[in-house]
Amino acid sequence: MWICMVYNETDTSVDFRLCRDFGLILSILSLIYLLVCFPLGLCYNVLLVVVNLSNKVSMTMPDVYFVNMAIAGLVLNLVAPVELLSSTFTRWHVWEYNDEVYITLLILFNISSLVIMYSTTLLSLDYYIERALPRTYMSSVYNTKHVCGFIWGGAVLTSFSSLLFYVCNHISTKMVECSKMQNKEAADSIMMFIGYVVPALAVLYAFVLILRIRKESTPLDQDSARLDPSIHRLLLASVCVQFVLWTPYYMTLLVHTVVVAPGYISSARYLPTYYFLRCVSKLLAFSSSFAMPLMYRQMNKNFSNKLQRLLRRLHCRDQSCPRERSTVQQVVT
């Protein structure tokens, strides 16, 4: 186990047992995630994407954002087994991966985290716009699709710093520019600020505006063009769940970049605890890939109707249904 390898013969048996216990707990948690959470997340994310894309006409602005988060969740589903089956997370590891695979996983993980956090943030802001100005179409499905495209592009550009870190570690260290960029703490601090601080402030601002609207009741509140009231509960639940699951991971980045001085943590006595908490926080981040589609499935009233229409459509693909035949007869007559 990678936590225990740093101990030498002079370390106490208590610290070594603590390290072994942490390793066993982490191995069990990883296997539970792979056996339960991973298949659920994979199935429900695919179901969310397929059901909504097969009913594009009935998609609303929140649906587009949740589809965007589901696609990011599928990327996390691809990353999770590779990491959780390595020696970093489990004693019974299946494989070891090299630096190239590591940096690829890091970039995919960072892109997914940015897409999820900013989709949640913009969902909050667009929901406020929809409640305040329901007929302006500023938060329409058409605009939301373009916004989601910009989210993915921005996430890829932001994660490019990790790629630069990797490239500079594989070329000559005599280059001044690259020797300055060989600092993972700098890349983590960028991710901490862009991926957590900015979305958190934006969501807080959006919630303040939404609460202000709810207190100031107007005749527009009865407007039939407004979103379903259940969307408000789904929005609140999704934002809370996302930040609960992602905050521990970003807090470990904060500890690594601010609190812990370079070279200090390797000799600290709390090394096993730090790495254990870091791995658990990443497990929680992976958990967002199945928590969000499950919550969407339970709290979105229209999802069941869309799913039923999709199943009827698949059932009637090879044979015309009675309803379709009656419709055709009416058209002919």
Residue 221 vs residue 96, higher pLDDT: 96
Q: Which helix (H) or strand (E) holds 162?
A: helix 141-168
Question: CA 80, CA 71: separation in Å to the nearest integer?
Answer: 14
pTM above 0.85, yes or no: no
pLDDT tens per residue across span 208-261:
888 887 666 554 444 444 556 677 788 889 999 999 999 999 999 888 777 654
Question: CA 108, CA 289: separation in Å to the nearest integer?
Answer: 13
**pLDDT confidence band for 189 (50 / 70 / 90):** confident
Helix (H, G, I), strand (E, B) or coil at 95: strand
**What's the confidence (pLDDT) of residue 34?**
93
Which residue is listed with tokens 């200090």? Answer: 264
Domains of the chain with bracketed CATH: 12-214+227-302 (1.20.1070.10)
Residue 116 and residue 77 in contact, taking contact as beta carbons nearer than 8 Å: no
**What's the confidence (pLDDT) of residue 118?**
92
* Closest by CA position to 240, among listed 203, 191, 285, 205: 203
Burial code (b: 16+ CB inside 10 Å, e: under 16) for 99-126 equals: eeeebbbbbbbbbbbbbbbbbbbbbbbb
